[in-house]
Protein backbone atom coordinates (compact mmCIF):
# COMPACT_ATOMS: atom_id res chain seq x y z
CA UNK A 1 0.00 0.00 0.00
CA UNK A 2 2.78 2.41 0.82
CA UNK A 3 4.25 1.93 -2.63
CA UNK A 4 0.93 2.71 -4.29
CA UNK A 5 -0.20 5.71 -2.23
CA UNK A 6 1.57 8.84 -1.00
CA UNK A 7 -0.89 8.83 1.94
CA UNK A 8 0.48 5.58 3.36
CA UNK A 9 3.85 5.08 5.02
CA UNK A 10 5.39 1.85 6.19
CA UNK A 11 8.32 1.12 8.46
CA UNK A 12 9.99 -2.21 9.03
CA UNK A 13 12.16 -2.60 12.09
CA UNK A 14 14.36 -5.26 13.59
CA UNK A 15 12.85 -5.63 17.04
CA UNK A 16 16.10 -6.77 18.67
CA UNK A 17 17.61 -3.39 17.78
CA UNK A 18 14.75 -1.27 19.17
CA UNK A 19 13.67 -2.53 22.62
CA UNK A 20 11.63 0.64 23.36
CA UNK A 21 9.42 -0.10 20.36
CA UNK A 22 9.00 -3.71 21.48
CA UNK A 23 7.71 -2.43 24.80
CA UNK A 24 5.61 0.40 23.33
CA UNK A 25 3.77 -1.90 20.92
CA UNK A 26 3.80 -5.02 23.14
CA UNK A 27 5.46 -7.10 20.46
CA UNK A 28 5.26 -10.78 21.35
CA UNK A 29 5.30 -12.20 17.83
CA UNK A 30 6.28 -11.21 14.33
CA UNK A 31 5.30 -9.99 11.91
CA UNK A 32 3.23 -7.47 13.82
CA UNK A 33 1.31 -4.83 11.91
CA UNK A 34 0.21 -1.63 13.63
CA UNK A 35 -2.19 0.70 11.80
CA UNK A 36 -2.59 4.30 13.01
CA UNK A 37 -1.49 3.23 16.49
CA UNK A 38 -5.04 1.96 17.05
CA UNK A 39 -5.33 -1.44 15.37
CA UNK A 40 -2.72 -4.17 15.41
CA UNK A 41 -2.42 -7.83 14.56
CA UNK A 42 0.25 -10.50 14.51
CA UNK A 43 0.93 -12.75 11.56
CA UNK A 44 -0.22 -12.58 8.00
CA UNK A 45 -3.74 -11.59 6.99
CA UNK A 46 -5.72 -12.35 3.88
CA UNK A 47 -6.49 -9.28 1.78
CA UNK A 48 -10.10 -9.09 3.00
CA UNK A 49 -8.98 -9.27 6.65
CA UNK A 50 -6.30 -6.66 6.05
CA UNK A 51 -8.89 -4.29 4.57
CA UNK A 52 -11.13 -4.87 7.61
CA UNK A 53 -8.23 -3.92 9.90
CA UNK A 54 -7.63 -0.75 7.89
CA UNK A 55 -11.32 0.18 8.00
CA UNK A 56 -11.35 -0.28 11.79
CA UNK A 57 -8.27 1.92 12.10
CA UNK A 58 -9.73 4.79 10.07
CA UNK A 59 -13.28 4.67 11.45
CA UNK A 60 -13.82 7.23 14.22
CA UNK A 61 -14.60 5.76 17.63
CA UNK A 62 -18.31 5.42 18.29
CA UNK A 63 -19.23 5.23 14.60
How high is the pLDDT of residue 41? 96
Instruction: Indicate the domain borders of the chain.
Output: 1-63
User: Quick one: which of 15, 30, 18, 51 has its CA closest to 41?
Assistant: 30
- The string of pLDDT tens digits covering residues 3-61 is 999 999 999 999 899 999 999 999 999 999 999 999 999 999 999 999 999 999 999 87
In whole angstroms, what is the distance from residue 46 CA to residue 54 CA? 12
How high is the pLDDT of residue 61? 74
Q: What is the pTM of this model?
A: 0.80
In 1-63, the DSSP E strands lie at 32-35, 39-42
How high is the pLDDT of residue 60? 82
How high is the pLDDT of residue 63? 66
Amino acid sequence: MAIQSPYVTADVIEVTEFPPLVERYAIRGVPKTVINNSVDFVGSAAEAQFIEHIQRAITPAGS
